């Protein structure tokens, strides 16, 4: 296919070529893969600045999305690629092939660098979903830092750079510029821009930015960072967010509050414990959805409020396809049972075949888990309605899942995102937390957003 880039795509490709270290924060649907491949192609065959590039990405994206883009566009026909996923033997065979671009999933970065025995002679590294390297204590981060000095060029791609706040940025930029802008040590970064927030004695659980810290951080990273939103450059469909509130009975409410207060809930069918706050959060989320796991591994049904709401939403769709996001395994099982009872055809989107059927309009109700299908999937051809049956605390997974439908190529003029919220439960806290995290992230993106018209004239 002939590549006819938008002006913002040309600008972004030139930006990558002009910056040996670049943070490219592009919203879903803006074509970050084709933009980056265009820059790599030019650097490799026009200016001869690089000879081997490594792309680190989520496994599905590395396996399918990048190869599909290389094969799609006419100007990339000279690029040879090799996909290093699968077993160790398959990965080794792929890395030994003659190619220009090597694609590997992020879980195997440490293996590549410390165990594969393959010399790390990549002079350009592209990290697709830079936010997956926000934790400086992970093995993948430490391994990549070992070889970072060998890399002439590095690009970090993401649409969610600070999904959990500004603290995420230190590791991401430490990898890009080796500590030049935000410091070489996390302690230095914390001291410079944050103060302790929640703590118990000398133990600090969280930090909050100092007054003016956000502006200072944005200023520090702005010279190597470009940010764009879909709504700035594409004719996006209208995004309509709504809530479908359900209410617990008095008995159900008492059970919920008892667990919340005592961390232990006695039920006729088993005992459930929540040993710590994280576990409690998960237990309360399960109860809000309508069922809960016992310590023995069974499932106890609490209510069917959300199932009833989902049935209403599907009925109101009048045959139009509905995509349903679930979080717990028992969510999937109970939704499946209800749909079978109603004789409504459905499928879980976990294979290439099911995704093709969804996009072909052959699946009335599709079930998707954000953690396994948030990145790299184009689902906009299958429908324009997303229902959140079970919520996630992860802003990144939340936004990526919404962007499967709300993106360029969506034929409908609107995308409707329905959130089934159980009144008076942790559901309301999760929605608030997602909103507050988005405020911080939106500030970051706006602070470094590229003004094409202004920069083009400089």
Same domain, 293 and 317: no
Asked whether the beta carbons of 248 and 425 are under 8 A apart, the reply is yes
- Among 263, 278, 302, give the residue marking a domain's end: 302
* Residue of higher predicted confidence among 424 and 337: 337
Q: Are residues 190 and 50 in the same domain?
A: yes
Query: Is residue 229 assigned to a domain?
Result: yes
At 300-351, the pLDDT tens digits run: 888 999 999 999 999 888 789 999 999 999 999 999 999 999 999 999 998 8
Q: Are 374 and 405 in contact (CB under 8 A)?
A: no
Does residue 429 sit within a domain? no
**Looking at 99-217, which runs of residues are DSSP E strands?**
101-105, 124-128, 153-158, 194-196, 199-200, 203-204, 207-209
Q: Are residues 103 and 168 in the same domain?
A: yes
Identify whether 428 is part of a domain.
Answer: no
Residue 276 is predicted with a pLDDT of 58
pLDDT at 40: 97
User: Alpha helices of 305-415 — where are they, by DSSP H?
Assistant: 305-316, 329-342, 352-359, 370-373, 395-402
**Same domain, yes or no: 157 and 291:** no
Query: Do the domain assignments include residue 33?
Result: yes
Q: Note whether residue 436 is domain-resident.
A: no
Any idea which of 273-282, 436-445, 448-457 has the lowest mean pLDDT? 448-457
Task: Examine residue 435 and state whether it is found in any structural domain, yes or no.
Answer: no
Q: For residues 358 and 384, state if they share a domain.
A: yes
Please write the tens of the pLDDT for every residue from 14-48. Answer: 999 999 999 999 877 788 999 999 999 999 999 99
Find the domain containing 63 and state its range.
7-233+444-456
- Tell whether 111 is covered by a domain: yes
Q: In the predicted model, what is the mean pLDDT of the chain?
A: 87
Rounded distance, CA 391 to CA 219, Å?
Answer: 34
Number of domains in the chain: 3
> Within this chain, do residues 121 and 197 fall inside the same structural domain, yes or no?
yes
Burial class of residue 89 (count of CB atoms within 10 Å of its CB; 0-12, 13-18, 19+): exposed
- Whether residues 240 and 260 share a domain: the answer is no
Token representation of residue 111: 């293996």
Q: For residues 53 and 103, give the distance between their C-alpha atoms in angstroms, rounded to a whole number.
A: 9
Greater pLDDT, 308 or 454: 308
Token output for 380? 């906009």
How would residue 265 be classed by pLDDT, with cut points 50, 70 and 90? low
Same domain assignment for residues 136 and 222: yes
Residue 95 C-beta-side C-alpha neighbours within 13 Å: 25
Same domain, residue pair 50 and 180: yes
- As given in the structure block, the two tokens for residue 140 are 């993948």
Domain boundary among 302, 329, 345: 302
Length of the chain: 458
> Are both 292 and 350 inside the same structural domain?
no
* In a domain? residue 438: no
CATH of the domain at 157: 3.40.50.10810
Q: Are residues 245 and 206 in contact, defined by beta-carbon separation less than 8 angstroms? A: no
Q: Which helix (H) or strand (E) holds 270?
A: strand 270-273
């Amino acid at each position: 296919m002939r590549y006819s880039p938008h002006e913002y795509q040309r600008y972004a490709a030139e930006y990558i070529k002009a910056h040996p270290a670049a943070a490219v924060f592009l919203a879903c649907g803006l074509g970050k893969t084709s933009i980056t491949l265009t820059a790599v192609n030019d650097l490799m065959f026009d200016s001869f600045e690089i000879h081997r590039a490594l792309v680190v990405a989520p496994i599905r994206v590395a396996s399918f999305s990048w190869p599909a883009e290389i094969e799609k566009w006419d100007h990339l026909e000279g690029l040879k690629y090799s996909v290093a996923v699968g077993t160790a033997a398959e990965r080794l065979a792929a890395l030994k092939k003659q190619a220009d671009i090597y694609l590997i999933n992020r879980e195997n970065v440490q293996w590549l660098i410390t165990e594969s025995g393959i010399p790390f002679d990549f002079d350009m590294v592209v990290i697709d979903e830079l936010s997956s390297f926000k934790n400086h204590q992970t093995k993948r981060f430490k391994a990549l830092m070992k070889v970072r000095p060998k890399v002439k060029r590095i690009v970090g791609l993401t649409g969610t750079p600070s999904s959990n706040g500004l603290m995420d940025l230190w590791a991401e930029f430490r990898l890009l510029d080796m500590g030049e802008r935000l410091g070489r040590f996390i302690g230095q970064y914390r001291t410079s821009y944050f103060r302790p927030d929640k703590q118990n004695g000398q133990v600090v659980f969280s930090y909050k930015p100092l007054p003016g810290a956000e502006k200072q951080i944005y200023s520090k990273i702005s010279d190597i960072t470009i940010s764009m939103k879909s709504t700035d450059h594409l004719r996006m469909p209208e995004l309509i967010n709504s809530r479908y509130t359900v209410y617990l009975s008095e008995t159900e409410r008492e059970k919920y509050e008892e667990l919340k207060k005592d961390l232990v809930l006695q039920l006729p069918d088993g005992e459930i414990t929540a040993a710590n706050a994280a576990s409690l959060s998960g237990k309360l989320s399960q109860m809000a959805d309508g069922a809960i796991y016992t310590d023995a591994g069974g499932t106890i049904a609490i209510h069917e409020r959300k199932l009833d709401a989902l049935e209403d939403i599907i009925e109101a769709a009048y045959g139009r396809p509905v995509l349903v996001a679930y979080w717990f395994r028992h969510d999937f099982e109970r939704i499946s049972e209800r749909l079978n009872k109603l004789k409504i055809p459905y499928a879980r989107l976990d294979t290439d075949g099911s995704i093709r059927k969804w996009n072909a309009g052959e699946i009335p109700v599709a079930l998707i888990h954000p953690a396994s299908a948030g990145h790299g999937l184009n689902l906009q051809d299958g429908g324009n309605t997303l229902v959140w049956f079970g919520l996630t605390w992860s802003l990144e997974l939340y936004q990526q899942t919404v962007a499967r439908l709300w993106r360029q190529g969506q034929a409908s003029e609107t995308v409707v995102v329905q959130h089934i919220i159980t009144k008076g439960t942790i559901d309301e806290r999760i929605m608030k937390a997602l909103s507050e995290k988005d405020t911080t992230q939106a500030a970051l993106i706006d602070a470094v957003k590229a003004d094409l018209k202004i920069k083009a004239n400089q």
